[in-house]
Chains A and B, each alone.
Chain A
Amino acid sequence: MSSESSEQAFELKGTAATITVLRLKTVAVDSIEADLKIRVAQLPHFFHSAPVILDVEEIAEDLDIPFKEIVAGIRRCKLVPVGVRNAKGRRLEQAIDAGLGELKGGGPALRAAPKPESKAPTPRSKDAGMAGPKDGEAPKTPMDPAPPRMSLTLRTPVRGGQVTYAPQTDLVILAPVNAGAEVIADGNIHIYAPLRGRALAGAHGNEEARIFCQSLDAELVSIAGTYLMADELPEDMRNKPVKIHLEGGKVVISPL
């Protein structure tokens, strides 16, 4: 059944998706790729297939930027370059030639990639939602890219220095998130225990994302990039079960 002629082939919508920016400091493809590999290895699930924008503001005017090679290098790291910022004239033409779109002005809300501490371990796949055979539950494969995406479930504490990211899905945590730990999800975050570290829901800009926790003692809570620090949390919500959402561009915390 083909679509009727009265229907449009598509709908054109503007969005304010958040995208990772790669601010170039060099035009040496090798070192860009090498550094990127390290960053990606630290947070593979955060970066995998993520769109990126190249910002070339810091590259001296007289330098030639090998856009095509850089784009290829970034793609080898499993990221998808989609645009360029702060390129003018011939440089811009070369970028467009290499398949990059121009981002003008402030551009979309730019997502700063979460920074793991130097050698922050990501929890083992076992902790990352694979129910151990002991639990007698069917194993889940949260990293499986095929839809429908299961939420990612953690059963052991997320400890200081650890970073866990649930791409394109919810993160469910059945144990405490301790001070110095960071949990990130593109969807909602549910913590059935105290939240003492940082929680970032809607990491790719989903403003409908929420955080739920049994006891709020967080260092930071963020919804779609808007965040509250520990000392901005309302005193009467501290150590209480709460839900956290975005309302009129503000992070709102209310009792559960």
Chain B
Amino acid sequence: MAKVVVITSGKGGVGKTTTAASFATGIASLGHKTVVIDFDVGLRNLDLVMGCERRVVYDLVNVIKKEAKLHQALIKDKRVDGLYVLPASQTRDKDALDLEGVGEVIEELKKKFEFIICDSPAGIERGAQLAMYFADEALVVTNPEVSSVRDSDRVLGLLDAKTYRAENNLEPIKCHLLLTRYNVKQVKKGEMLSVDDVLELLGIPFLGVIPESKYVLSASNAGTPVVLDDANEAGQGYLDVVSRFLGEDRPHRFLEEKKGFFKRLFGAN
């Protein structure tokens, strides 16, 4: 059975697109046929992070408007087998999407893919609601700060009420908390909320943290999802998250400050 997973947050700029790219790439690299859809119509950027922006011919809106066939719009990833991108339109406005059209596209994708990853736009308005409507599971991307947690809370309310599963009284969408841009030092100093603080406020299962890392930006600029670089912590964090999502039990590696050489020698903190 194909699974539809929405990457959502409410607040903008918290790392949804970064997560969608790395999550989809990670799942596909473990042998699952995966497509990642950009729902951020008008603000195309998933294709940039995925490094396929120059191969975009048709997009989600073209498919919904029946101006192109689905297979014409799907872009095959060059690095990972079984990974496809369905880009958003840069030229249309966000009202170009409608529920029925999105439903048809997702139904068709379900026949071909194991995982359908939806990169939601920010906010809690129509675009975000369309992206989450058909989801089976949700990664709620949150930064460790109050405003982001509040927005995630609102999004969780919507996931619980304004989705296909909710409206048809099916089992609720399974929600997972993903804390991104986590900076252990700032958490220690009390400048950022800790994992425990956020879990206490949101009360949903915890999938993992992605440490704050400067490699994320350079990877995005290079069009390489950061998960493909397992030499840096953000990439490792995403690999852990993907494995956990697929049912593997992995320890949380990035909740504690890494001890430097001298700290280890002298046991200082």
Contacts and interface: CB of A to CB of B under 8 A. Distances in A.
B169 A126 contact: yes
Interface stretch (B40-48, B150-158, B205-213): B150-158
B169 A180 contact: no
B161 A124 contact: yes
Contact of A127 (B150, B160, B162, B203): B160
Interface in A162-194: 162, 175-176, 178-181
B166 interface: yes
| Overall SS of chain A's interface | loop
Contacts, number: 46
A158 to B, nearest CB: 8
Given A126-B169, A179-B150, A157 B203 contact: yes
Interface string A93-126: 0000000000000000000000000010111101
A162 B150 contact: no
A124 B160 contact: yes
Contacts of A127: 160
A54 B169 CA distance: 38
Contacts of A123: 160-161
B161 A162 contact: yes
Contacts of B153: 159-160, 178-180
A160 B10 CA distance: 12
Given A124-B166, A160-B150, A176 B160 contact: no
A176 B166 CA distance: 20
Given A124-B169, A157-B203, A180 B150 contact: yes
A122 B161 contact: yes
Contact of B157 (A126, A159, A175, A196): A159
Contacts of A44: none
A161 B169 contact: no
A17 B112 CA distance: 61
A230 to B, nearest CB: 14
Interface in B155-191: 156-158, 160-162, 166, 169
Contacts of A162: 157, 161
A179 B156 CA distance: 13
B150 A176 contact: no
B160 to A, nearest CB: 7
A226 interface: no
A106 B137 CA distance: 53
A121 B150 contact: no
Between B157, B166, B201, the greatest number of chain A beta carbons within 10 A of the residue's beta carbon is seen for: B157
Nearest to A126: B169
Interface in B71-110: none
12 contacts: A119-B162, A126-B169, A127-B160, A156-B160, A157-B156, A159-B156, A159-B160, A160-B150, A160-B157, A161-B157, A162-B161, A178-B201
Given A121-B157, A124-B169, A179-B150, 20 more contacts: A121-B158, A121-B160, A121-B162, A123-B160, A124-B160, A124-B161, A127-B160, A159-B156, A159-B157, A160-B150, A160-B151, A160-B153, A161-B124, A161-B154, A161-B157, A176-B201, A176-B203, A178-B201, A180-B153, A196-B201
- 4 closest Cβ contacts across the A-B interface? A121-B161, A159-B157, A160-B154, A160-B153
